[in-house]
Amino acid sequence: MTLQRRLVLAVLVAAPVVWLLTLGMTYVRARHEINELYDTDMVRMALQMHSVVPLVDVAAAPSRTRLPELVEGDQGDAGLGDLAIAAWLPDGKPLHIDPEGDLLPRAPGVKGFTEVTINREPWRLYYLDDPDTGWRVCVGQQLGERNELILSYIAAQVLPWTVGLPLLIGLLLWFMRRAMAPVRALSADIEGRSPEDRRPLSLQAVPGELVPLVHAMNQLLARVSDSLEHERRLTADAAHEMRTPLAALKAQWEIAQRSADEAERALARANVAAGIDRISRLVSQLLTLSRLEDAAGLPSRQPVNWEPVAQQALSDCLALAQQKQVDVELEWPPPGQAPLPVAGDPGLLSLLLRNLLDNAIRYSPPGALVRVDFQPDSITVRDQGPGVAPELLARLGDRFFRGGPGQREQGHGLGISIAQRVARLHGLEMAFANRTDGAGTGLAVRLAHGG
């Protein structure tokens, strides 16, 4: 169900319910006020009769007063039959004041207000006794008079609302539809966009409540666009990078099939195997890099013990180091000092060190020494390779960048990119510099917490 339909349903249900509750409260309040008014009048009339009745000459009083014949002139809307007065002498003999009063029961012992049924009509009676003279007075009123007044008052409230409530609901629905117009316009804007459209959503005519949502959507659109551009560039670079080894692989395969020289075929088969290994490594690195770049955070986070992490990375690079005749040395801080404290994933940090070691071993000459220096505030990997031109240091870590022209080592420039991504996930920064320690040429890669 849409938000607009929910709001419409809420208005259609809430408005009548609130109106009925208000009407009920009005009825209760009106009934109380009207009963209070009439009860007060009845008590005052009884008090007046109580003060007047002892002055009546009982002997001269008529046996029955014909009230309709005594009232003259325009009666207006008076309902004489709705109100009755009765009085009784000390001996219980009624004093005939009006015909309706003769219908009221004397009810000895009853004092104050009571309700009875007379000729199938509900009456409210008020009794007042004079303990000194023995007179008894009663004032009665039909309850239908009160109910009629209450209903008339409620009807005066209902009739305007019968017309006004549908009008109010209609206006609310119209304003609600107008208020939802920016949401519909925003939805239409998003629906009509292409994945390449990086323009932020407009904030014009957007209600203040939706501004944070639009800001978040703009950020999401920018991230999605960056991700698409990232993947597109990665795919294009990977296709470009794989074109050459695939062409070489095809050429070596044709040589292995067509050459009559067994030595030449053996060399071609060896080149095919090396090419397959190179492509396999490239694909593995691309998959690793894609997985890391899609990761929003670390799969696990715990205090890292660098010794097993370093041993695992060294073990992974051992075969390459033996092949290249390169020694790897690990230096640890003095006893009592722990190497660079990091909370993260040991497997990813082992991947980071492995890529740095792999890069350092590949670019070091035979007999060289690669040193990994663990310090309390940093980790530095130093090789004895040719180094990198100063103007190209900033490009290290770019995908498929291999140190500039003249680089002979086979590679794809992805190892440093993977290491950089792992470092960022752990809050580390990677800095590159040519060696200046007097131990010859080489590259130094330093890992430390970001400042």
Same-domain status, 12 and 101: yes
Mean predicted confidence (pLDDT) in 387-409: 59
Torsion angle, alpha carbons of 16, 22, 27, 33, to 10? -170
Number of domains in the chain: 3
Token pair 């009123």 is at which residue?
A: 141
The two tokens of residue 10 are 């809420």
The set of residues, in sequence order, having a beta carbon less than 8 Å from that of 436 and lying 6+ positions away, is none
Q: 12 lies in a domain? A: yes
pLDDT of 58 > 60? The answer is no
Please report which residue ranges of 180-261 form alpha helices under DSSP H.
Answer: 181-191, 211-258
Mean predicted confidence (pLDDT) in 226-238: 68
The two tokens of residue 205 are 């005519």
Predicted structure pTM score: 0.46
Hey, how many other C-beta atoms are within 10 angstroms of the C-beta on 430?
Answer: 21
The residue from 166, 182, 203 where one domain ends is 166
Cβ-based burial of 152 (10 A; exposed 0-12, middle 13-18, buried ≥19):
exposed
The residue from 264, 294, 324 where one domain ends is 294
Q: 336 lies in a domain? A: yes
Cβ atoms of residues 300 and 337 within 8 Å? no
* Whole-number Å distance between alpha carbons of 388 and 438: 16
The pLDDT, as a whole number, for residue 178 is 80
Same-domain status, 234 and 330: no
Q: 209 lies in a domain? A: yes
The residue from 270, 294, 318 where one domain ends is 294
- Three-state SS for 196? coil
Q: 186 lies in a domain? A: no
Cβ atoms of residues 90 and 135 within 8 Å? yes
Same-domain status, 316 and 411: yes
Cβ atoms of residues 375 and 447 within 8 Å? no
Torsion angle, alpha carbons of 259, 261, 265, 267, to 10? -130
Q: 361 lies in a domain? A: yes
Q: 27 lies in a domain? A: yes
What is the residue range of 34's domain? 3-67+80-166
The pLDDT, as a whole number, for residue 266 is 84
Same-domain status, 225 and 347: no
HSE, side-chain direction, 13 A CA sphere, residue 74: 2
E strand or H helix that includes residue 447: strand 443-449
Beta-bridge mates of residue 62 = none
Query: Quick one: which of 310, 309, 213 has its CA closest to 3?
Result: 213
Hey, how many other C-beta atoms are within 10 angstroms of the C-beta on 70?
Answer: 8
Q: How confident is the model at residue 177 (pLDDT cuts 50, 70, 90)?
A: confident
List % helix, strand, coil for the chain (3-state, nearest 5). Answer: 55, 15, 30
The pLDDT, as a whole number, for residue 56 is 64
Q: 73 lies in a domain? A: no
Torsion angle, alpha carbons of 396, 399, 400, 401, to 10? -20
Same-domain status, 263 and 238: yes
Same-domain status, 345 and 389: yes
Same-domain status, 317 and 438: yes
Same-domain status, 290 and 307: no
Q: How confident is the model at residue 326 (pLDDT cuts 50, 70, 90)?
A: very high
Same-domain status, 227 and 197: yes
Query: In whole angstroms, how far apart are CA 360 and each of 155, 346, 412?
Result: 94, 21, 14
The two tokens of residue 75 are 């009666």
Least confident of 78-82, 109-113, 176-180: 78-82
Beta-bridge mates of residue 129 = 136
Q: How confident is the model at residue 405 (pLDDT cuts 50, 70, 90)?
A: very low
Mean predicted confidence (pLDDT) in 213-220: 82
Domain of residue 100, CATH code:
3.30.450
Q: How confident is the model at residue 67 (pLDDT cuts 50, 70, 90)?
A: very low
The pLDDT, as a whole number, for residue 370 is 92
Same-domain status, 339 and 413: yes
The pLDDT, as a whole number, for residue 312 is 86
Torsion angle, alpha carbons of 163, 167, 170, 176, to 10? -140
Query: In whole angstroms, how far apart are CA 173 and each of 5, 12, 188?
Result: 10, 9, 22
